[in-house]
Amino acid sequence: MKNNYFLIFLSLILLGCYSQQPQTVRTVKTGAEVLLDEHLTELAGKRIGLVMNPTSRVDGVHMVDTLLSLGVNVTALFAAEHGFRGEAGAGEQIRDGVDQETGLPVFSLYGSTKKPTLEMLQGVDLLLFDLPDMGVRFYTYNSTMGLVMESIAENDKELWILDRPNPLGGNYVAGWILREEYKSFVGSYPMPIAYGMTMGEIARMAVGEQWLDLPAEPNYKVIKTSGWKRDMRWPDTGLPWFAPSPNLPAFEHAFVYPGTVIFEGTNLSEGRGTADPFLTIGAPGFGFKPEELEELEVKHSVGLDPVTFTPQSIPGKAIHPKHEGQECTGIRISFQGNYDKTDPVRLGLDLLKFAQAHTPNFEMKAFANKLYGIDLKSIIENKEEIPSWQAEVEAFKEQRTPYLLY
C-alpha cells in the first residue's frame, strides 16, 4: 500500500512539473485565418467564388463550409490540379461537376481549359484564391494563379489571394532560371526551381515584371499571413500539415520533392504507388552496394537506405505508376527532422547521377527539361558537369526584392 501511495505522490509531482513547462504557442496564421478574423464583413453583398483545395482549412474545417456557415454568399467553386476536395492524382484531368457536400457547381481549371472563362464567372464578383505553394516552380498552382489573374483582368472581376507560408522557407533559392524554350504549365515564369516566395509575392512579381498577359491592371489584393518570417520552414510555423496533393502526405515528402521530382523525367520510379513517394526512388536492375551510399549521406546530411519496393496502382494517388507490380531496388531517404544542412535540389541531382551510374538501362526523358528549366537531358546523357546556378540565383534575389511582403 505504501508503494501505491508513493507512486501516486510521484505522479502528482510529475504532473505538476509538466503543467509548468512552457507550451508551444502557434503564432503564425494563414491568410485564410486572417480573412476570417479581420475581413469577413468586406464580403457582404458579394457573390464569392473559391479557388481552393483540401488544404484550405481553418481549425480542420474546409473554408467553403466555414464561409457558408457564416452566411457568406458562396456561388461557385473552382478546382485546380488534384480537385477541390483532393480526389484526383497528379496529372488526372478534373471535370466540371457538383460538390457533393454543398451542392455548389465546381468548374475545372485542370481540364480542357485552365483559365476561368466568362461563363464560369457569370455568378461571381470576387474570387478567393487559397491554393498551397510548395516553393517550387513546377508545382502547378502558381501557374493556375497567373491564369486566374489574367481572367479577372479580362472579365472585370476581383481577386483576393489568401497568402500562406512557403513550406521551404523564404530564404531557400536554388536552381536555374527557366529557359523560354521549356516554358509550360509546369514552368510558367522565369524563376529558379526554388524561389523562396509566397503566392502573394509571386503574384506581385508576375504583375510587376509583366510575366502575365494582362489587358489591364488586375483588381487584386493579398491577405497576408501573420507571424511568418522568411527563415521559417513549415515545421517552424506550428501549422498543421494537410496534404496539398495525394503524393505529398507529410512535410518531409514536400522537402525532398524539389530534388527527387526529377526522377519523373527518367525511367526510374519516383516512389509513386508506394507509401513514401519522392522519399523512395528505384527501378528493376538498379544495383549498388550499400556502402556506396555513405559518401552521399555525409555530403547531404541525410539517411540513405537500400530498399526494395513494388509500386501499386492507388486510386486518387497513383494510377498505373512506373514499374507497377514489379519489384524495384532502390533508395529510401530520411531526414530525422534535420533539414538545415540539406539542399534538396542538389541532393536530387547527385542521386540522379548515382542512378545513371548504377542502372544499365537508365534513360532520361524530355520532361526533365521542363521540370528543371534547362537542357538537363543532354547534360546527364553526355555526363557533362552540372552547370552552376549561383549567378542566376543572386540576380533573381535582387530582382524579387521589391515584391517581398515579409
210-258 confidence digits (pLDDT tens): 999 999 999 999 999 999 999 999 999 999 999 999 999 999 999 999 9
* Percentages of the chain per state (helix, strand, coil), in multiples of 5: 35, 15, 50
Q: How confident is the model at residue 93 (pLDDT cuts 50, 70, 90)?
A: low
Cell, residue 258: 524539389
Q: Which of residues 19 and 343 earns the better pLDDT score?
A: 343
Enumerate residues 6+ apart whose C-beta is below 8 A from 35. 128, 160, 162, 223
Per-residue pLDDT, 257? 98
Rounded to whole angstroms, how far apart are CA atoms 149 and 311?
38
> Which pTM value belongs to this model?
0.91
Q: How confident is the model at residue 95 (pLDDT cuts 50, 70, 90)?
A: confident
Per-residue model confidence as pLDDT tens digits over 1-13: 444 444 444 444 4
**Closest C-alpha among 134, 178, 202 to residue 392:** 178
Q: What does DSSP say about strands 57-58 and 280-283: parallel, antiparallel, or unpaired?
A: unpaired
Distances (CA, A) of 212 to 69, 134, 139, 217: 36, 21, 18, 10
Per-residue pLDDT, 90? 55
| Mean predicted confidence (pLDDT) in 129-142 | 96
Task: Identify the three-state secondary structure at position 336.
Answer: coil
Per-residue pLDDT, 89? 52
**Closest C-alpha among 65, 47, 48, 45 to residue 57:** 65
- Inter-residue contact 140 to 185 (CB < 8 Å): yes
Per-residue pLDDT, 9? 42
- Inter-residue contact 251 to 234 (CB < 8 Å): yes
Per-residue pLDDT, 317? 87
Per-residue model confidence as pLDDT tens digits over 271-281: 999 999 999 99
Using only C-alpha atoms, what is the Rg of the chain? Answer: 23
Sign, Cα dihedral of 103, 145, 228, 41: negative
pLDDT averaged over every residue in the chain? 92
Rounded to whole angstroms, how far apart are CA atoms 182 and 189?
10
Residue 356 buriedness (CB in 10 A; 0-12 / 13-18 / 19+): middle
Per-residue pLDDT, 12? 41
Looking at 261-366, list the stretches that DSSP marks H as alpha helix, in order from N- to C-terminal side.
294-300, 344-358
Q: Which CATH superfamily is domain 31-240 in?
A: Uncharacterised protein PF07075, DUF1343 (3.40.50.12170)
For every residue of 69-106, which 3-state class applies, written as one string?
Answer: HCCCCEEEEEECCCCCCCCCCCCCCCCCEECCCCCCEE
Cα dihedral 41, 46, 51, 52 in deg (nearest 10): 40
Rounded to whole angstroms, how far apart are CA atoms 150 and 34?
25
Q: Which of residues 339 and 10 earns the better pLDDT score?
A: 339
Rounded to whole angstroms, how far apart are CA atoms 247 and 254?
9
Task: Provide the 10 A C-beta neighbour count for residue 92.
Answer: 16
Which percentage of the chain shows pLDDT scores above 90?
Answer: 85
Q: Please say if the pLDDT value at position 361 is more than 70.
A: yes
Count of H helices and E strands in the chain?
Answer: 12, 12
- Residues of the chain within CATH 3.40.50.12170 domain(s) are 31-240
The DSSP code for 321 is -
**Closest C-alpha among 342, 139, 82, 350 to residue 233:** 342
Q: Please say if the pLDDT value at position 16 is more than 70.
A: no
| Mean predicted confidence (pLDDT) in 347-375 | 98
- Residues of the chain within CATH 3.90.1150.140 domain(s) are 251-374
Cα dihedral 183, 189, 193, 197 in deg (nearest 10): -160
User: Domain 251-374 adopts which CATH fold?
Assistant: Aspartate Aminotransferase, domain 1 (3.90.1150)
Q: How confident is the model at residue 352 (pLDDT cuts 50, 70, 90)?
A: very high
